[in-house]
Chain A
Amino acid sequence: MLTKTKIIALASIGLTQFSGYVHADTRLNVVSAGGQNMVDYVKTYLAPKFEASHPGVKVNIVGTGPGDAGSHKILEKLSAQKNSGLENWDVDVAVVHQKIGGEMVTDGLLAKYRSDIKTGTLVTRDSAENALGVNVNGYVMPMFHSQTAIAYNSDFIKTPPKSYDELVKWTQDNPKAFGYNGIKNGMSGVSFVTGWIYAYGTEAATLSSTPYNKDIATSWDKAFSELKAFNKNITFTPGNAGTLDMLNRGEIFMGPVWVDMFYSWKDQGKIPPSMKLSLIAPGMPGQPMYYVTPAKAENAQLAREFIEMATSPDVQAEGIVKRFNWYPGIDAQHVQGNLDKATWAKLFAEITPSDLSQYGKSFPIAPYFDDIKEGYERKVSN
């Protein structure tokens, strides 16, 4: 009996200690999907900036891992809290991928906040309103846009391919010199395959918008069999970073990469300066990451202020464009004024804004996307 009392006493002391600690200052919980670099961005750049302007607020950042899976974890967490009827959800700001952002809106997990913040009017891009067929107008602010493109070594390739057709021809003339990572080891390969279907299957506009028509996927047999033939002339690489690695060591001379990773590696000297980018016709997909805030966020007002700061032109210029080489989330013309010419020129030197608007496509809506990946597994890699 005595022991029991002691335990209870100890436990209650522990609890008061703990709760005392928690309430020492307000904690703003930011949960981010995506690679470590995104967590780093919030942790090392946004959080100190926000804490400086909001004394007594502590930003607590948690990463949930790369890819849609990371976003999916946030979705699962929020819907669990919703289903259990909690009044306050312990996520204030979340950074999620486009596809899951749409699902969250459909499930009623998000707050419609864009009109509450001053930067809300700085976004006019289609992807801020339409997330793979779901109307997300008002619920999301794009953090940045990420784009895939073909990287090539300009020392060896003077005239890079401008389209998928030219690329196919190029790989026939230069077997094994093009490399990508299939569809299981990272999104740059998935993106390349999606671009292939846009080129030889069905155009991007149809696949990126609802409604879903399941007969369309059956017409891709020829595209897949051509891709299978194409795969014989190329080298497979291990992952997004693997493609860059092999480009770096001269094992391949061309391959699909994420533009932001490409520039970061180039800045760090991990790939030679002769590497350049080309966005080929009819286009390759890219995607935005969204800032969202849950419908019942505990610190709803602080969350809005955080997002407002994160999408302000100077943060977008300094943090998103200059430090991390991402394309800005808000419209580019608002960011341009805050950037020196060199940085601006670097970001848009190889892929011009007109290339970007012409050939920068969205990913397909979820069911088509699954059709593409399964079709690849069934007909190309099997």
Chain B
Amino acid sequence: MRSSTSYNLWLIAPAALMVGLFFLYPLFFSLYSAITTDEGGLTLAHLEKAFELYSNDILFTIIIVLASVVLLAILSISIAALITLSPFRSIVSLLGFIYRIPLFIPFIVTAQMMRTFLAKNGLMNNAFIASGMLTPLETVSFLGWSGIIIVFVWKQLAFCTLLITGAMAALDESQIRAARNLGASRLRILFQIMLPQITPTIGVAMILSTVTIMSVLSVPLMIGTGTPTMIATDMAFRINSYGDYHVANALGLVSYLICAGLAWFYLRQSLKDKGAI
């Protein structure tokens, strides 16, 4: 028995070592660096500086994340519901095929193609002009905050829809059948039977998307227009242009806190749903 325990410990040791070395150590090191001076004393100066210079950007990041996540939730649930519930199988199978495409396109490629697509005289506006829906004077550029949201939603939609469709397909059909027999409309089935059961999956999809959105640097760099910008850009800027790891780490701490806040909110909700609180 005893030897088997130590044997098991040896089995997990490589994985634990990997996690410790490449995840926990950098994490705690960056947290440590955010609140200490070069000499090792505790200080809040870096955090103060981060807030003094970048409070607008922090707010901007939160708004971008929230807007993207809300749009993502609405769109991915609609598509997943359409795929699961629609009676028109042929168009739905087409939809089921095409929505996955962005999964295979990296963020930087997405950003690059959106940059010339969404611009004032980009392909999108050109297409609108050619089809007579807009005149050249009415066109607007989507580069900036709206473009950033569009790119994030475009890219993450496939991932969220994939998760949510999977969860919907795994639901117990007898409930849906019963509701149907009792005359419930599809919308009602969606909102009253299906959604309540897949909230955990939606939560996971949204939190993973949040973390991705916070971490992507190429999109705000290529689609955003300087000020305000997202935290990731500011962190890169602090390092690239001042070699200032402290304030960059302080900004990192702020992003951890934003993600942690969302995760906490989600955990609390899901525990509440289970009746634990």
Contacts and interface: CB of A to CB of B under 8 A. Distances in A.
B225 interface: yes
Interface residues of A, number: 29
Contact of B225 (A67, A182, A190): A182
B241 A245 contact: no
A247 to B, nearest CB: 11
Interface string A362-382: 000000001001100110011
B227 A245 contact: no
Contacts of B115: 238, 242, 245
Contact of A67 (B227, B233, B241): B241
B120 interface: yes
A373 B242 contact: yes
A182 B226 contact: yes
* Most central of B222, B226, B233, B239 by chain A CB within 10 Å: B226
Given A184-B233, A249-B121, A69 B240 contact: yes
Nearest to A66: B240
Interface residues of B, number: 30
A189 B233 CA distance: 15
Contacts of A249: 116, 119-122
A355 B227 CA distance: 32
A304 interface: no
Contacts of B56: 382
A13 B241 CA distance: 46
Contacts, number: 82
Nearest to B237: A184
Contacts of B53: 374, 377-378, 382
A318 interface: no
B224 A370 contact: no
Given A68-B240, A68-B241, A184 B234 contact: yes
A275 B124 CA distance: 24
Interface in A47-75: 67-69, 72
Given A185-B233, A245-B116, A69 B239 contact: yes
A251 interface: yes
A218 to B, nearest CB: 17
A141 interface: no
B141 A370 contact: no
Interface in A221-252: 235-239, 242, 245-246, 249-251
A183 B53 CA distance: 14
Interface string A156-188: 000000000000000000000000011111000
Given A242-B115, A249-B120, A236 B226 contact: yes
A208 B222 CA distance: 31
Contacts of B234: 184
A74 to B, nearest CB: 13
Interface in B202-226: 221-226
A237 B240 contact: no
Given A185-B224, A238-B224, A239-B222, A245 B121 contact: no
B73 interface: no
A355 to B, nearest CB: 28
Nearest to B239: A69
Interface of B: 52-53, 56, 115-116, 119-122, 141, 143-144, 221-229, 233-234, 236-237, 239-243
Given A68-B241, A238-B222, 16 more contacts: A67-B241, A68-B240, A181-B225, A183-B226, A184-B234, A185-B229, A236-B226, A245-B119, A246-B120, A249-B119, A251-B120, A370-B242, A378-B52, A378-B53, A381-B226, A382-B53
8 contacts: A67-B241, A69-B240, A190-B241, A236-B225, A238-B222, A238-B224, A242-B115, A246-B119
Interface of A: 67-69, 72, 181-185, 189-190, 235-239, 242, 245-246, 249-251, 370, 373-374, 377-378, 381-382
Q: Which 5 residue pairs across A and B have the least CB separation, nearest first?
A: A182-B226, A236-B225, A249-B121, A69-B240, A381-B227
